[in-house]
A = this chain, B = another copy of it.
Amino acid sequence: MTIFAIIGHLAATTGNFNLNDMPGGAGRMDILCRAVNTSLFLSHDLRREVTVYLVLLGGTDAPKTIMFSGEKVRSLNPDERSAGALIKKALEIPVGEEFRESTRGVYVRRGGLSRLLLAHAFAVLDEDGEDIGTATTIPEAFLLSDHLNFTPEELEMTCSYPKYSVGPKVLHADHTITVLLNVLDRRCGGQ
């Protein structure tokens, strides 16, 4: 299993955002939609072994965490609006402390990063980290940020975690995920 968690520092936590304005009113939700896309899609297939967490920290009902299960998700298409519509539905249902399924393979709960970090052995994507292309060990879980840097509090929570980069240029979160998965594909020989 491979896990990606992306922090949406401004991302909406209520379902009343407009799918036509995800970069604006929804707090750069477009970034999280593209991260879902790059985490889960293959040509004419899905990456069933991948799970994606979106940590939503914006708006009046923060924090919430949404989980997309590559194994179970249905009704997901590659365009941003498709992932956005599933996120919107997840944010429209009553939510408690445990994950609740909003649509097939999509789940939502209250809580943010501190709780999520307890669940998996995360590594952090960092432009000064070890190049994943030549790393000897590959972690099972990767933590990325949206268009904003990790906050001082997030950096403190993750300061002891291994850090990886994806090459000499700094990429958007979704592009970073594509490169990470390509490295994993090559190590596993496509199996």
Contacts and interface: CB of A to CB of B under 8 A. Distances in A.
A179 interface: yes
Contacts of A178: 38, 171, 175, 178-179
Interface string A141-176: 000000100000000000000000011111110010
A81 interface: yes
A185 to B, nearest CB: 5
Given A41-B175, A43-B170, A133 B78 contact: no
Copies of this chain, count: 2
Chain A interface residue count: which class? 35 or more
24 contacts: A20-B81, A22-B79, A23-B78, A34-B37, A38-B175, A41-B172, A41-B175, A42-B169, A42-B171, A43-B170, A43-B172, A78-B172, A80-B80, A133-B186, A166-B182, A167-B190, A168-B185, A168-B186, A168-B188, A169-B185, A169-B190, A171-B178, A175-B178, A178-B179
Given A19-B20, A42-B171, A168-B190, 8 more contacts: A23-B77, A30-B78, A41-B172, A43-B147, A167-B186, A175-B178, A178-B178, A179-B179
Interface of A: 19-20, 22-23, 30-31, 34, 37-38, 41-44, 77-82, 133, 147, 166-172, 175, 178-179, 182, 185-186, 188-190
